[in-house]
Amino acid sequence: MIKYWPEKQGINLNNEVVNLFRYAYSKLDTNLHNNTSWILSIDIINIQVKRKLFKVVLYELEILVLDIIELNLTLEELKTLTKKITIDLIKKSIDNFYLLTQVQSTNFSQSHNLERFCDFNLFIDNLLIYLIFGSNTLTLNNTLFLEINVPTRYIEILLDNLVIQVSNIVFLNCITNQLSLSSLLVFLISNNLCNDTYISIKSLATFRNNLNWQDLIDYYLIQPKIVYNNRYKVWLLTPEGLSCKYIYACRENDFFKLSNLQLIIIVFLELQDFLLPKINNVIFNLSKVLIYTWGYFFNQFFKLLLKSVFFVFRTKK
């Protein structure tokens, strides 16, 4: 039986929010290994530190929801402040993570521009609206889910995705603020952050290069294709570990946010969808003609060969 999220504010919505966060905290005590081929910056840290980081982000989000309720923000005000709220959540998560893990340097969040992370598919605006105002507030044009009744599982997915994505941003910010591989290695080892796989400069160099290469492929190839196919990639907390799935949603407005090169990629995808079936059809028909022609000539050649053999036998007699 599908359980749906409450449509409006009230006791039912408050209880569902409490149960949602309680369930999210319980999932953090399970396997947190990355079970995908996609590289995350948090792959470099050990499970204990990763669990602490996830709990910090979840706790900061919990405080954020309470603050918004206390400030009694309207829906329009919340939408206007989405970018500022996102930056504030990331900044506080960075500061409290360093404080919790007793890292010596606590000045990273001020030294790095956090605005660039707001373009990540965090869906924080949708999630906060569901948590604070209920599912009946979002119109079909503003929501990822195209049904009036929103399943509770859908809200869980948005929460999982936000926790994992913000945690990834927190540690990505940490990695990019280290000026050299040696300083990164010292930072990880001295603060007992890294797992056993990344305890050498060579392994860190490979990890960082793979991460940079993946970002380029994602930006110029994968993201345009995802937008073209009207999909979003979301991250999930499962008993088997971290996994990612694709959900379908209207992304018409996202076309205007793409760069010129990304739009060129989409044009190539359009041409591919238009031309590839026709090319395949031509190749298929051409293959049939070639097979028929080859069979016809082989058949004629075989007949001619048999006639020659019979003629030779008759001549000998």
Residue 112 DSSP SS3: coil
- What pLDDT is recorded for position 263? 79
Q: Residue 231 has which token pair?
A: 């999909």
CA distances from 13 to 9, 18, 136, 215 (A): 6, 9, 12, 38
**Which burial class, exposed, middle or buried, applies to 52 when counting CB atoms under 10 A from its CB (0-12, 13-18, 19+)?**
middle
Q: Which helix (H) or strand (E) element contains residue 178?
A: none
pTM: 0.81
Whole-angstrom Cα distance, residue 317 to residue 312?
A: 9
| Chain position carrying tokens 């995705």 | 161
Token pair of 301, please?
């050649």
pLDDT value for 144:
58
The pLDDT tens digits of the residues spanning 167-222 come to: 999 988 888 877 788 888 888 888 888 887 777 888 888 998 999 899 888 888 88
pLDDT of amino acid 109:
46
DSSP H helical segments within the chain, as ranges? 11-27, 47-71, 75-80, 82-100, 108-111, 124-133, 152-176, 181-190, 201-217, 223-228, 260-316
pLDDT recorded at residue 282: 77
Digit-coded pLDDT (tens) for 74-131? 888 888 888 889 999 999 998 888 887 766 554 544 444 666 666 667 888 889 999 9
Give the model's pLDDT for residue 220.
84
Domain boundaries, the chain: 11-258, 259-317
* CA distances in angstroms from 285 to 48, 74, 279, 296, listed in the order given: 60, 62, 10, 16
> Residue 140 pLDDT > 50, yes or no?
no
256-282 pLDDT, tens digit each? 777 788 778 777 777 777 777 777 777
What percent of the chain is predicted at pLDDT more than 90? 32
